[in-house]
Amino acid sequence: MKTTYEVRQAAHPEDVKHYDTQRLRKEHLISPIFVGNEVTMVYTLYDRLIVGGAMPVDEKLSLEAIDPLKMPFFLSRRELGVINVGGKGRIIVEGIAYDMDYKEALYIGMGDRNVVFESINSTQPAKFYFNSAPAHTNYPDKKITKSDAVVVEMGSMEEANHRVINKLIVNQVLPTCQLQMGMTELKTGSVWNTMPAHIHSRRMEAYFYFEVPENNAVCHFMGEPTETRHIWMQNEEAVISPSWSVHSGTATSNYTFIWGMGGENLDYGDQDFCKTTDLR
Ligand SMILES: O=C[C@H](O)[C@@H](O)CC(=O)C(=O)O
Ligand SMILES: [Zn+2]
């Protein structure tokens, strides 16, 4: 097995507005997330969130501390949220096995030393997408399925943004230090997520797009509301949203995405909405 990582610095919005396409992608787009028998990570300095993926094929993969943490094990001072977006898998935490079906989530608290990812069938490998945030205390590990989630239906077919927001790792479901994660599924014919768009200066956010059909792509929007930029994204790619940035997207098909946040508060509803007609 192999662990690869990259550190991404945080930037000032006045600087980012001068970025060309290549630079914008280099700093914000995260790809590839899934590499066979590897754990990949991006350590972003935006709220020190780590965005990563583990794709065990015919090897077990352990979650190892990366050098920038300077810690004996990955979860020494961190918590982790994982969602399986591949075939059936298993996560073993301190010897306790959690069977992870498609779209099931696991919260793993600070202090757990041994976290191992495995696939049930190497021909249909599990794909574990994860976010990790700094933590101050241990909260219990917990598997979360869609039936445990706080589910909110948003948007409409007429506005092409009819979607279901599954709040999986949020404080109405389980206690966390600062991590919040969920999964939003767009209905057939709906393509716009997070419209009207919003900002939450108290928290950064990462989006991971999946279930994007072949030969389709997502057009993700970021930037200050009056200075937006777009990033074209493929299936199974993630994007960093600084706390000063909108995060919203459209696509050539419907799709699903996982959102994850870390930062100042655990209040999902703490969002400052942008009037759609004010966007530039
Ligand atoms: O702060 C929260 C996040 O941006 C998402 O939960 C929004 C979202 O899933 C949607 O509107 O489709
Ligand atoms: Zn948001």
Residue 197, pLDDT score: 98
Q: How far apart are CA 35 and CA 33, in angstroms?
A: 7
Is the CB of 165 within 6 Å of ligand 1? yes
Q: Which residue's CA lies nearest to atom 2 of ligand 1?
A: 268
Is the CB of 78 within 6 Å of ligand 1?
no
Confidence category of residue 114, pLDDT binned at 50, 70, 90: very high
CATH topology of domain 2-278: Jelly Rolls (2.60.120)
Assign residue 189 a region: left if phi > 0, alpha if psi is -120 to 50, beta otherwise? left
d(CA 226, CA 204): 18
State the average pLDDT over residues 51-69: 98
Boundaries of every domain in the chain: 2-278
Q: How much is the average pLDDT of 13-34?
A: 98
Phi-psi category of 28—alpha, beta or left, where left has phi over 0 and alpha has psi -120 to 50? alpha
The CA distance from 253 to 270, in Å, is 29
pLDDT in tens, 214-258: 999 999 999 999 999 999 999 999 999 999 999 999 999 999 999
Helix (H, G, I), strand (E, B) or coil at 50: strand
User: What confidence score (pLDDT) does residue 280 get?
Assistant: 98
Cα of 167 vs centre of ligand 1, distance in Å, is 9
State the chain's mean pLDDT as an integer: 98
**Using CA atoms, how far apart are residues 17 and 7, in angstroms rounded to an integer?**
21
